[in-house]
Amino acid sequence: MADFNKISKKWRKLWEEKGIFKVSEDPKKKKFYCLEMYPYPSEKLHVGHLRNYSIGDALARFKRMKGFNVLYPMGYDAFGLPAENAAIKHKIDPEKWTLDNIKAISEQQKAMGMSYDWSRKIQSCTPDYYKWNQWIFLKFLEKGLAYRKKSSVNWCPGCNTVLANEQVEQGKCWRCKSVVEQKDLEQWYFKITNYADELLNDINKLKNWPKRVKTMQRNWIGRSEGVEIDFKIKNSDEKISTFTTRADTVYGITYMVIAPEHPLVKKLVKGTEYEEKINKFIEEVKKEEISERIDETKDKKGIFIGKYFINPFNKEECPIYIADYAVMEYGTGAVMAVPTHDQRDFDFAKKYNLPLKVVITPKKKLLKEDEMTEAYIDEGILVNSVQFNGLDNKKAIEKISDFIEKKGFGKRTINYKIRDWLISRQRYWGTPIPIVYCDKCGIVPVPENRLPVLLPKDVKFSGTGNPLETSNNFVNCKCPKCGGKARRETDTMDTFVDSSWYFLRYCSPEFDKAPFDKKAVEYWMPVDQYIGGIEHAILHLLYARFFTKALRDLGLCKIDEPFKRLMTQGMVIKDGAKMSKSLGNVVDPADIIKDYGPDTARLFILFAALPEKELDWNDQGVKGAFKFLNRFYSLVEDNKKNISLDKIDLKQLNSKDKYMLSLMNHLIKDVTENIEQFKFSLAISDIMQFVSQVGKYANKNINKEVFSELVKTSVLVMSPFIPFVCEELWAMVGFKGFVSLAEWPKYDESMIDEKAESSEELLDNVKKDIAYLLNLIKIEKPKKLTLFVSEKWKYKFFKELKKEIEKTRDIKAIMKAIIPKFKENSKTVSKLIPLIVKNPGRIPLVILDQNTEFNVLQNSKKLFEDEFKSAVEIVKAEDSKQAKAKNAMPGKPAIVVE
C-alpha cells in the first residue's frame, strides 16, 4: 500500500521550493479571487475549518487549472479575547500565544495541501496591519463616520467590555453567552446608519448570495416607512413624537405608551404626585429587563404617568402611560396606541381598562368594540375618521400622511432597526483607538504621521479592568495639539474592524503608503468567491459591506460590494449533534491525517455532503474515501507498463476504446459543470464511476494510448480534490511539471456517443445473461450460441410514431394518439415517446433498423465468440411465433445454447 503521508510531504516540499502558488497582477490573464474567511488562531484547527479550506482549495485549484490568475490568500484574525484570557489564566504574553498558534495552524494548513499564496499572509495583530485600522479610523473621523457619544450600551460582564448590537444574541453575548447588561457609557461609534439605505438596496445586486443571508441582512437593517407625528402634552410646553407605519389608524388612538427610559418621563413627572411611583416602576423594569423583558409571552406591564396628550386630529385628550413594551431603541421610543388595530395595544388596553375605538372595519360586517376579542389587523375601510371615512385603509395611509405633512402635525420618515456600530472595547488585545484626551483641547486625534499607536508591553493582566490602563507610559502622553499633559484613549477597537477590510489588504500586503494599493485592488477586487460560516451573516458580512462603501466614498477604491459570490458552508455534525467537547464527539483532523493522509480527509469532506449542507461525520465514510484512494492509486501503479504517451490513432480504435473515450469526454463535461456549481460530491461521484470503468477496461486487451488518456484525465479532474496523490500519479505516468499547474482537460462533444454507451451496456447485459444461462445449465464449452432478437410490437410502435411525428411535435398530442393503441406496453411507450421526440437524431435510426439491438449484437458477434469460445449466431425473430418457438420474448434477446 502506498504511504500517502510520505507522498504528501514530498509534494508539499516541492511546491514550497518552487513557490508555484505565488501570484501577481497580470493584466493579460483573467483574475479569480477565491477567499475563505480568515480564521481566529485558536489553539487547534477543527473539522469545520478543514471543510472551509477544502472547499476553497478545490475551487482555487480548479480555476487555476482553467487558466485564471488565482488570488488565494490566507491570514489570521489575530486580535481578540481568547489570547487575553490565556494571558490572564496562564500568564502568557498574548502576542506570543497568538503567534505560536498561527505557526501551528499554518503548519496544518500546509500539511493539508492548501494552495495559498503564503507570501501574502497577514496577521491583524501586527503594527503593519493595525496601523491602517487607526488610519482608517482617522479618515472616518474626518468624514464624520466615526464619532463619540454617551448612550445606553450593551455590557457583557463575562468579557468585561461593551458589545455592538450585532454581537448580542437573544440578550446574550455572542462569544461567551453571558447575559448582557445595559450601561450608560461614552463610546466610539461608526456611522453605519448613513449607509442603511444603500446597504439594503444593494442586497439586490448580490445575485449569487444565499437567500437566507440576504433575508437576514434585510431584517437586520429593518427599514420601515411611516410617519412621525408630534403630540402636544396638555398643560406643558413639551411634545412627544411617535413613529407609526399605520397612519390610517390615527383616529383610533386612545392612549400613548412611552419607554421607561424615555428622557421626557422624568421631566413630566417631576414634582407631581406620580414621581415616586413612576421612579419605582422604572427601577423594577430595569431590574427584570434582561431576562423577562425579552420574554414576549409575559404580560405587558405599564403605569399611568398623570399626563395627557392632545390628538391633533380630533383634539381628544388621552392618557400617557409608560410601559415595558415600548423600547427606546426603536423609532422615537414612544407609541401611539390604537388598541383596536394592534394586538399589543389591545392586550394592554384590556388589562388597564382603556377605551377602544374602531376606525377600520371589514367591508362585510361592521366591527364593534364590545364584540372584539382581538385586534383587527387586516385590511378594511375607514370609519369614525371624519373626512377619510369610506377610504380603503391602504389608500388612507397615503392620504392621511399627506394631511399630516400639510397641517404640520408631523412628517414622513423612514425608520431603521440597525443602530450605529459601537466599536470601543475595554480590552487590551486589539487596535488602540488613536485618540488623546487633553484638558485644554478636548478630543484630539493622533496625527497620521505618528501612527501606529503601538500596544504597550508593560501591562498587567489581573482579570479585572482594562489592562491598558495599567501602562503609565501608554496612558500618560502629550497632547499632539498643544503639547500639554494628556491622557490616551485606552479603549481598543472591536476586532470586527480588522476583518472589515482584510480582503483588500491581501491585494497588496506589503504596501506602506495606505491600507492598500489602489491599483492592485482595482485588479483583484471584488472577491469572486467568498466561503465561510453562516454565523457571520449579519456581523462580519454587513460590516465588510459597510467598510467597502465607506472606503469607496473616501476615494480609496471603486467597488460598491466586496463579495460577488458567497457560499456559506454547512456545519459539521457527528452522531446527530454539533461537535462539542461536552458531548465527546469531537474529531481531531490531525488524527485523520495521521491515519489516512490529508487527501483522504479532503476527499471524505468534499464527498460526504454538498458544501452548503450539514456534514455528518462518520468514520466509515472516511474509510470509504480511503479505500477509493487506494483503488485509484493502484489502478495507475499496477498498469504503469500499459502507459504510452503517443498520440491516439483514431483508426485503430475498437468499439470498447471508443466507448471509453466517450465516457471520458462525458466525464469531463459533467465534472466541469458540477464543480462550477459547487456540487463537489457529485463531481467526485462521477469520477468514482469513471475510475471503476477504467479499472474494468484495464483488465482487457487495451489500447495503451487510450488507457493513458483515460488515466491522465482521471488524474487531472481528481487533482483539485486530492492534490498530493494526483501529483504523485502525474509524475508516475511520466508527465513533466506539476499537475497543480496543468491545464484542465477540455471535452470534445463529438466524442460523446451516447449510442455507443448504451450499446455497451446492452452488450454487458447480454453477456451477463449468457454467463448466467451457461452456469444454470452447467455447460462450460457450448458449441454454438444462438441469440434471438425480437421486437415485433416495438416495430409497429415506431411505425405509428413516425406517422404521428410527421403531423406534430407536440408530445401531449402524440401521447394521446398512441398510448391507447399500446395499452399493454403503455409504460414503456410513455417512456419512449418523449425520448424519441426530443432526440430527433435517433428516429431514423431506430425506425429504419427495426431495432438497434439486433445490429449492435450483430456487430459484436466476434466479441461474443472470443468471450465464450463458441460459434455465435444472431437471429432476428421476424414475428412472435418464431420467437416463441425458440423461447424468445418480445423486446429481449433470447439465447439458445447447443
Partner RNA sequence: GCGGGGAUGCCGGAGUGGUCAAACGGGACAGGCUUAGGACCUGUUAGCUUAGUGCUUACGGGGGUUCGAAUCCCUUUCCCCGCACCA
Q: Binding string, 261-280, against RNA, x = CB under 7 A?
A: --------------------
Q: Which three cell numbers stand for residue 188?
A: 466610539
| Strand, helix or coil for residue 747 | coil
Q: Which is nearer to RNA, 142 or 810 (CB)?
A: 810
Neighbours of 577 (CB within 10 A): 9
Q: Which is nearer to RNA, 431 or 665 (CB)?
A: 665
End-to-end CA separation in angstroms for the chain: 47
Q: CA 465, CA 823: separation in Å to the nearest integer?
A: 85
Q: Which is nearer to RNA, 262 or 564 (CB)?
A: 262
- Min dist. Cβ of residue 219 to RNA (A): 6
- 294 forms part of the interface with RNA (CB under 7 A): yes
- Sign of torsion, CA 693 694 696 697? positive
- 533 forms part of the interface with RNA (CB under 7 A): no
Torsion of CA 332, 336, 342, 346, to 10 degrees: 120
- Min dist. Cβ of residue 246 to RNA (A): 5
- 286 forms part of the interface with RNA (CB under 7 A): no
Q: Given candidates 153, 199, 335, 756, which one binds RNA under the rule CB under 7 A? A: 335
- Min dist. Cβ of residue 177 to RNA (A): 12
- Min dist. Cβ of residue 300 to RNA (A): 5
- For residues 538-557, which are near RNA according to CB under 7 A? 538
- 203 forms part of the interface with RNA (CB under 7 A): no
Q: Given candidates 201, 208, 387, 765, which one binds RNA under the rule CB under 7 A? A: 765
Q: Which three cell numbers stand for residue 226?
A: 411611516
Q: Are 333 and 299 in contact (CB under 8 A)?
A: no
Q: Are 102 and 478 in contact (CB under 8 A)?
A: no
Q: Which is nearer to RNA, 128 or 535 (CB)?
A: 535
- For residues 632-661, which are near RNA according to CB under 7 A? none
CA atoms within 13 A on the CB side of 403: 16
- 887 forms part of the interface with RNA (CB under 7 A): yes
Q: CA 724, CA 5: separation in Å to the nearest integer?
A: 9
Q: Binding string, 491-510, against RNA, x = CB under 7 A?
A: --------------------
- 329 forms part of the interface with RNA (CB under 7 A): yes
- 688 forms part of the interface with RNA (CB under 7 A): yes
Peptide linkage before 893 cis (omega within 30 of 0): no
- For residues 216-255, which are near RNA according to CB under 7 A? 216, 219-220, 222, 224, 226, 242-246
Q: In 3D, which of 422, 420, 423, 400 has the Cα closest to residue 412?
A: 400
Q: Which residues pair with 468 in a beta bridge?
A: none
Q: Given candidates 60, 250, 259, 446, which one binds RNA under the rule CB under 7 A? A: 259
Q: Given candidates 135, 330, 403, 793, which one binds RNA under the rule CB under 7 A? A: 330
505's enclosing H/E stretch is helix 502-505
| φ, ψ for residue 436, nearest 5 deg | -125, 140
- Min dist. Cβ of residue 800 to RNA (A): 15
Q: Which three cell numbers stand for residue 891?
A: 423486446
- 296 forms part of the interface with RNA (CB under 7 A): yes
- For residues 590-619, which are near RNA according to CB under 7 A? 607-610, 613-614, 616, 618
Q: Which is nearer to RNA, 392 or 616 (CB)?
A: 616
- 797 forms part of the interface with RNA (CB under 7 A): no
Three-class SS of 571-600: CEEECCEECCCCCCCCCCHHHHHHHHCHHH
Choices 75-83, 163-171, 736-744, 858-866; region in contact with RNA by CB under 7 A = 163-171
The residue with cell 429593518 is 222
897's enclosing H/E stretch is strand 894-897
CB-based contacts of 891: which residues, under 8 Å, 6+ apart? 790, 791, 793, 794, 828
Q: Which three cell numbers stand for residue 338?
A: 390604537
858's enclosing H/E stretch is helix 852-859
Q: Which is nearer to RNA, 178 or 825 (CB)?
A: 825
- Min dist. Cβ of residue 45 to RNA (A): 22
Choices 82-90, 100-108, 334-342, 514-522; region in contact with RNA by CB under 7 A = 334-342
Q: CA 856, CA 789: separation in Å to the nearest integer?
A: 11
Choices 42-50, 127-135, 478-486, 530-538; region in contact with RNA by CB under 7 A = 530-538
Q: Which is nearer to RNA, 51 or 131 (CB)?
A: 51
- 889 forms part of the interface with RNA (CB under 7 A): yes
Tell me which DSSP letter residue 294 carries. T
- For residues 52-111, which are near RNA according to CB under 7 A? none
Q: Which residues pair with 789 in a beta bridge?
A: 876
Q: Which three cell numbers stand for residue 198?
A: 444603500
Q: Which is nearer to RNA, 138 or 625 (CB)?
A: 625
- For residues 337-396, which are near RNA according to CB under 7 A? 342, 344
**Max alpha carbon distance in the chain (Å)?**
119
> What are the distances in angstroms from CA 842 to CA 545, 575, 828?
53, 50, 17
CB-based contacts of 490: which residues, under 8 Å, 6+ apart? 426, 432, 466, 468, 469, 474, 475
Q: CA 504, CA 124: separation in Å to the nearest integer?
A: 13
Three-class SS of 447-485: CHHHCCCCCCCCCCCCCCCCHHHHCHHHHEEECCCCCCE
- For residues 389-428, which are near RNA according to CB under 7 A? 415, 417
- Min dist. Cβ of residue 463 to RNA (A): 29
- Sheet of 894-897, strand order: 871-877, 784-790, 894-897
Q: Which is nearer to RNA, 253 or 453 (CB)?
A: 253
Q: Given candidates 160, 630, 644, 882, which one binds RNA under the rule CB under 7 A? A: 630
Q: Which is nearer to RNA, 99 or 250 (CB)?
A: 250
- 574 forms part of the interface with RNA (CB under 7 A): no
Neighbours of 449 (CB within 10 A): 6
Peptide linkage before 526 cis (omega within 30 of 0): yes
How many residues are recorded in the chain? 898
Q: Given candidates 24, 272, 389, 689, which one binds RNA under the rule CB under 7 A? A: 689
| Strand, helix or coil for residue 239 | strand
- Min dist. Cβ of residue 309 to RNA (A): 15
Q: Which is nearer to RNA, 834 or 840 (CB)?
A: 834
Q: Which is nearer to RNA, 107 or 754 (CB)?
A: 754
Q: Given candidates 179, 732, 891, 897, which one binds RNA under the rule CB under 7 A? A: 891
Give the interface size with RNA as a residue count (CB under 7 A). 98
- Min dist. Cβ of residue 338 to RNA (A): 7
Helix, strand, coil percentages in the chain from 3-state DSSP, rounded to 5: 50, 15, 35
- 725 forms part of the interface with RNA (CB under 7 A): no
- Min dist. Cβ of residue 436 to RNA (A): 35
- 119 forms part of the interface with RNA (CB under 7 A): no
- Min dist. Cβ of residue 172 to RNA (A): 9
Q: Given candidates 181, 202, 392, 769, which one binds RNA under the rule CB under 7 A? A: 769
Q: Given candidates 49, 131, 300, 307, which one binds RNA under the rule CB under 7 A? A: 300
Beta strands in 330-434 (DSSP E): 334-337, 360-361, 381-382, 410-415, 421-422, 424-425
- Min dist. Cβ of residue 739 to RNA (A): 22
CB-based contacts of 603: which residues, under 8 Å, 6+ apart? 625, 628, 629, 684, 721, 722
Choices 52-60, 400-408, 687-695, 702-710; region in contact with RNA by CB under 7 A = 687-695
Q: Which is nearer to RNA, 79 or 680 (CB)?
A: 680
Q: Which is nearer to RNA, 525 or 691 (CB)?
A: 691
- For residues 807-866, which are near RNA according to CB under 7 A? 811-812, 815-816, 819, 825, 827-828, 830-831, 833-835, 853
